[in-house]
Structures are given as C-alpha cells and as structure tokens.
Amino acid sequence: MQVKIKEALDIMKDNGLKYTKRREEILTYLAEENRYIGATEVFDFMSQKYKGMSYDTVYRNLKDFTKLSLLEETELMGEKKYRFHCDVCEHSHHHHHFICLSCGATREIDMCPMNFFTEQLPDCEITDHRFEILGKCDKCLKKSNS
C-alpha cells in the first residue's frame, strides 16, 4: 500500500502540488478504504486527526487529486464521491466498477460495453464514456435480509 501512496505523492509533487502530511493522510485513507467516499466523510476522518481543518481544504484537495487522476470521481445519489484511482495501483487496464449504494464498496468489472455502442452509433465520434453498475453488495444484502 505504501508504494502506491508514494507513487501518488510523486505524481502530486511532479505536478506542482506541495507535499503535506494532510494530503498524504487523505490519499492513504482513500486507498485503504477502497470504496467511493463523500467529501463529508473524508472531512470527518481528517478533522478527528487535525483540529481546525476546514471542509474547503478537504474538498479542494479532493478536486486537485481528481484533476491529477489520483482519485476517481463519481456522483451517487446527488453527491460527489471519490476513491483512490485504480491506475495509480497495479491495475492499468481499462475496466469499470460495480458500486454498492449502501456502503460504497467497489468491484472491478473487466469488460467494457463500448463495442456495442460504437456499432450502434457508426456515424458519431465518441470521445469519452462512463459505465458503472449500481446496487447492493453481498454484505449489505445479508445485513438487510437479517
């Protein structure tokens, strides 16, 4: 895990963002959680360690990390959520995610439906895409059924 965090910190520094312990803590927290997390949850975690840290500081860092592709960003139920970007880890192949709407846990999906859409839209230029499957993970299903 530390190697992944170091790689992310190097990318951050190479792009002009100064190293701070707080930035490292945010990245470490998101990498260890390995799920989509809202800015409020990140702020709650950080404010326990750093009294007086502002929500704006946390949010600004999340946005900066997203611009550098250190974090993935998605919107779930009207809220932006973030997770440590898979490409910073050992995964560099194109993939998508299943996202649990209850706990935010993610699982990789090693296929992409874009071939289907490219065939359906032969006269269009597709410049980007986003594909996520939303639902409840097995752990959350067990909790709700008991």
137 is in an annotated binding site: yes
Whose structure tokens read 């990498």? 31
What secondary structure does DSSP assign to 78-111, as a single string? TEEEEEE-GGGTT--S--EEEEETTT-BEEEE--
112 is in an annotated binding site: no
For 74-97, b/e burial (b = at least 16 CB within 10 A) is beeeeeebbbbbbebeeeeeeebb
Kindly give the interhelix angle for 39-49 and 21-33, rounded to the nearest 10 degrees.
130
124 is in an annotated binding site: no
97 is in an annotated binding site: no
SS3 state at 5: helix
Is 55 within 8 Å of 39 (Cβ atoms)? Answer: yes
Is 130 within 8 Å of 117 (Cβ atoms)? Answer: no
140 is in an annotated binding site: yes
89 is in an annotated binding site: no
Residues annotated within the binding site are 94, 100, 103, 129, 137, 140
Residues annotated within the binding site for Fe cation are 94, 129
Residues annotated within the binding site for Zn(2+) are 100, 103, 137, 140
